[in-house]
Structure 1
Amino acid sequence: MPAPTTPPAPALAAVPAGAALRLDGVRLGRPGAAVLDRLDLDVRPGEVLAVVGPSGCGKSTLLRTLAGLLPPLRGRAEQDGRAITGPDAGRALVFQDDALLPWRTAGANVELPLAIRKTPRAERRAAAAEWLARVGLADHAHKLPHQLSGGQRQRVQLARALVARPRAVLMDEPFGALDAQTRSEMQDLLVDVLAGTGATVVFVTHDVDEALFLGDRVVLLGADGGEVLDVPHPRRRDTDRSRLRQQILSSL
């Protein structure tokens, strides 16, 4: 008899490619209250694009347009060459307010996007446990949001955003309410956990130093659209970005 063969090991799931996002000649805002006009913007697959600008310039509006929550008043918003016509499971939103459901544990909050997709319970619990471990909260899965610190709740929100393997992550000042030390820790964590996900990230912030640390490029929004600036690498805190920092501050 032929010797029994060992079944092949299951193939690892492929990392999803990051989405290509594009705004083509858009006017953004609400009827009679546009905040951005004539904006052209290309977000490259897999990059981190940081968005800065003065208060009221339309940073959050831009993010909501890319999310499909707010259609452009003019022009076209696209993902991978197709019009964005509404929300999509492949684009995850992360807000400054962690928006966790207070009656669900940390683990159950992370599971939520998978539960909505009707992922089998065992599979979604395993995925939630993996992501809580990746954000340093392996021992906190059973806790309710009110039992967690602000930084821990943001870690849960980050895990929830990434557990379903989105192709784009849209982040609206997610660390703005944190103290300086926790904010720095969350920035480092974000860089670490994004590695290998393939996700495209659009990160809105008021903090120029945060934009320069996290972004592969920075877009500076203003009345006449946006100016896109390349950020020097490597992504380390001791990299000298003083000239670019001064350029952005002068524009603001």
Structure 2
Amino acid sequence: MLNDSLSPFSQKELWSFYSSDYMQSKSRKLWADLALLCGLRAFEVTLLNESEIVDTNLDETKVYAVDIIGKFNKHRKILVPRSLMTRLWVYKNSGERLNRSSKWDNHNSSIDKPLFINRSGKRLNEGSITNITSIAAKEFSSSKVRFTHSFHDLRATFATSLARFLLENDLLLGFIQYKLMSLLGHSSFSTTQKYIDLARTVTYDKRMQSWVLDVFGDLEQTLSFEATELEVGNTVSV
């Protein structure tokens, strides 16, 4: 089967996952959304610095470019939707998080402060994030809901959905390949191509199509402009 190692969520599966009792925690929803809406790996969520989170009341930006650290300590820019940035800002300034932040300051004043800090005032453990899907799955074990997804499948959903969105908006294949590789932080183009190939074969139901448009609609103008600039630059260099 084509790319059977990739397993993006369906709209129904996303609804079931986010509706689970375990996922009613605001912080857990944010971890999941950073993978689903921005393509972050679990360990990249733990490395997200609080300085990258800004107050959306100060401007009208629809999509924020945020610096993160990925594999091999390489920095890259991800795109954070305005609605998610707003929720991250609220979390950053919540009472519980400020209490954890003060504990961090007692021991790590010279180190960039992460957004997500555990109760002991230390950087959140990667396992705490990757485990949310398996714990949610246990809730479904006694019901008729079949749930076998991993945390990484949220990232796969982001990549496949964005690839599908870009393909349907007729952007140049070369730009799509470049942009996905950049946003996902892949070191190998062959890995990126798997998502593009899968996006071409996946048939979304109407609810999933609507979700893709809602999530990535604000990106259309930005990415179309970027694609045009890249095309013009290539033409001039030739």
Tell me if TM exceeds 0.5.
no
Larger relative helix fraction: 2
Bigger radius of gyration among the two = 1
